[in-house]
Structure 1
């Protein structure tokens, strides 16, 4: 394995042997947890060096050949290979090889943004700070199935989950990958892709002891016919100067502003927005361009499609001429898609999205219909009642209606309420049917068990393997309870 690592540097051979030994050891250890007996997460001290004033990010390593490059694996001309990248039947493996200097610059940058590693800072929100600046990208070589991808841009990603993990002293952080981020510095990698994909998020399954929620929630949205990212399980190893270290089991997530638009819509020419904070809750009069960041057509300063949605939603015809109100709203917004999204989200539960938090969704102006379409995002907190007051009730009885008018006004309309109820019935009988979803839990938990139960202390949100098994039990219990809850709600209508 990893013969390509040594093609440019003979010293990498030793790292290959260490990497193989690490992987073999992880499977030996994992057998200890296969009978559901409790094993402690292996203790591993995470040492972060003091920030250095001498770290340089100067690009000097430009003399190399892309010997592993093929059209199918590296070229922009290749169609996205979903079967290769998003395989539900196995846990794939990524290896990042980044120079010690660049790794240290990433850690130094995190210290500048969020304070000392393993130390909670004082401030509002329990030590969490508002931070508009993303962590820095650095070049890293990425290895997968004996092939090398060159000088790939990697950075840490996330918001509260990133800060909290850092402050808790857990180095299992989420990553953003951009395969041609540094093409201007390295002409050899112009338009580099990973089996047709330009960008990914590599999610750390924050605060999820089952390590399944990000993937299963996306699967349920997909099964219900909602546009959503494809996902897959990956084991991540990083060599930043001392040989490969196991960083844990991650979930690879397809980026919305790339292949999701290209493959799940007619094209990616429409406006894509990533709403956040403020006007992202659609309260009348709250629209602000800052709260609707454009991810496509960034240079076109035109938010008329978002403004049209605000206007249609809050038009007075809702009360004196509901039919006209519905017609005008549906001219600019995929209402049925949103109602289906509400039904899925209500069944699986997610407190960290619209209705509780003004974030974790995208809006795409579908070129085929000229309607804004709702796309869910960031599902690691799904499949549980959750925090911060918990998830919304199926009848939205715990919704603060004045703060979340896009839900409140649609549910108050009898026509839309009936459609929502029909979607609930359809989804609980298909996309989230109890036996089916429990079968998925069984398959996925068996698949990831060797990787979850061998995560290392300091690189895991588990205290022991028993946490993992208990979390799977809770997911199965949750599936049963949601079926009962939907039945009770529908019988009351």
Structure 2
């Protein structure tokens, strides 16, 4: 009986072992199926164009004298996944036009990215935007904005570890939504920079996307530098400080609005120290503002680059950029400059500037209508010393930067540069109803600069 029992036990062990082996085979098979087999030919890879060690090449990437051409190839299955994912994230969103909409970023998929007959490999591409993304999508226009991340898929494809595009890790392809001139995004960013403010570099480009049926012309885009990638590295000391992109009620800094979840930290996420924006919130709303103004101003200037903020307000109000602080709780960054440990204002998103607000009124030059819901304007401009500095910057901006003759020349030059590419946009890939709409919009910009100059002169001479 013992011998029979031993044989039975042995058979059971053999069966159990065989089952375990089968399970291992199945698991290994599944792992192999999930494993990405990389058969890519990386022959275009060159350290000067692809590696992390490459210097930021602004002359090539943000060439001001040409319309760049980008060719993007996306696997048809990945393209389908992008569309399904976009429909899903937008279907669950809400919000009124012009306001931030709460939804997750759309998914990244890999693509082949070509420029000047050179390929960048497995580049991450996703849709980007907020209300503009939803509005354009719902209107049936396929010319949507994209974000590019050149090493998004480095874990799947180790050969592209730290891949860069002439030194740049991320870039934005903005579709110039609600801008029939297609110039505002670029001109706005350029003017801020010319006035000595931190702002993204820009360039004009055309985009072709092949998702299975050959290259499709997606139209004229504005290539915009990513703030948390290269702006803080190239325009500040070292880019090591906290960078925030506030979005939501907390972005107003109004009393009772402070919320770290709405102070999106774009750098130093692991340490997540919000003491700098918390200090700004506490100081701007401090009772010392009325009881001891000098102490309040001193404390405020210790955490915020107030002079830079006043300079930004002057430029922003003159060009009439309504879709930002003072009307909307989004479209700016705050960077803690390691050189002085002060938060610096960085403007973002200019496609709806250079016109009277379509959804909300643009701020007047005096900003007297601004309520305490926007304390960074209301409380700062109420100080006579700061108001005088602001008015000095109004004059400086029209004297040195927003000069009618120079702006008209710039508008004409850009019009000539992109005209043929704008006219070539197909109806499904354009926000324009006709070529003449583009022509007319550029002419309105030329009129706008003189009108705004006249208004500033009148305001300052009252």
Deviation at 1:123, TM superposition (A): 6.4
TM-score calculated relative to the size of structure 1: 0.85
Contact 2:225 2:231 in 1 (8 A): yes
Work out whether 1:261 is the aligned partner of 2:261: no
Secondary structure class of the residue paired with 1:64: coil
Match for residue 458 of structure 1? 428
Contact 1:280 1:291 in 2 (8 A): yes
Match for residue 472 of structure 1? 442
Match runs of 1:7-18 below 5 Å: none
Match for residue 354 of structure 1? 325
Structure 1 counterpart of 2:407, from 428, 437, 440: 437
Query: Residues 191-224 of structure 1, C-alpha deviation per residue, up to 9 Å, x if partnerless?
Result: 0000000001110000111000000000100110
Q: Distance in 1 between matches of 2:211 and 2:461?
A: 58
**Farther off after superposition, 321-330 or 74-83:** 321-330
Q: Distance in 1 between matches of 2:144 and 2:156?
A: 26
Work out whether 1:71 is the aligned partner of 2:47: yes
Match for residue 15 of structure 2? none
Contact 1:340 1:420 in 2 (8 A): yes
Secondary structure class of the residue paired with 1:403: coil
Structure 2 counterpart of 1:81, from 49, 54, 57: 57
Deviation at 1:87, TM superposition (A): 1.1
TM-score calculated relative to the size of structure 2: 0.90
Query: Residues 441-475 of structure 1, C-alpha deviation per residue, up to 9 Å, x if partnerless?
Result: 11111101011111000100001100000000111
Work out whether 1:219 is the aligned partner of 2:190: yes
Deviation at 1:129, TM superposition (A): 9.2
Q: Distance in 2 between matches of 1:265 and 1:111?
A: 39
Match for residue 322 of structure 1? 293
Query: Residues 157-197 of structure 1, C-alpha deviation per residue, up to 9 Å, x if partnerless?
Result: 00111001110000000000000000000011000000000
Deviation at 1:261, TM superposition (A): 0.9
- Specify every segment of 5 or more residues in structure 1 that has no aligned partner in the other structure, as ranges: 1-56, 116-120
Structure 1 residues 258 and 131: alpha-carbon distance in aligned structure 2, compared to 1, 3 A threshold = same
Work out whether 1:97 is the aligned partner of 2:68: no
- Specify every segment of 5 or more residues in structure 2 that has no aligned partner in the other structure, as ranges: 1-32
Q: Distance in 2 between matches of 1:298 and 1:124?
A: 27
**Farther off after superposition, 122-131 or 374-383:** 122-131
Work out whether 1:417 is the aligned partner of 2:387: yes
Secondary structure class of the residue paired with 2:427: coil
Match for residue 182 of structure 1? 153
Deviation at 1:113, TM superposition (A): 2.2
Structure 1 counterpart of 2:364, from 375, 386, 393: 393
Contact 1:114 1:129 in 2 (8 A): no
Structure 2 counterpart of 1:152, from 123, 133, 137: 123
Q: Distance in 2 between matches of 1:452 and 1:145?
A: 21
Structure 1 residues 452 and 62: alpha-carbon distance in aligned structure 2, compared to 1, 3 A threshold = same
Match runs of 1:28-177 below 5 Å: 60=36, 62-115=38-91, 125=96, 130-177=101-148
Secondary structure class of the residue paired with 2:289: helix
Match for residue 245 of structure 1? 216
Contact 2:100 2:330 in 1 (8 A): no
Deviation at 1:114, TM superposition (A): 2.6
Query: Which structure would you say has the larger RCO, counting Cα contacts within 8 Å and 6 or more residues apart?
Result: 1
Match for residue 259 of structure 2? 288
Match runs of 1:195-214 below 5 Å: 195-214=166-185
Secondary structure class of the residue paired with 2:345: strand
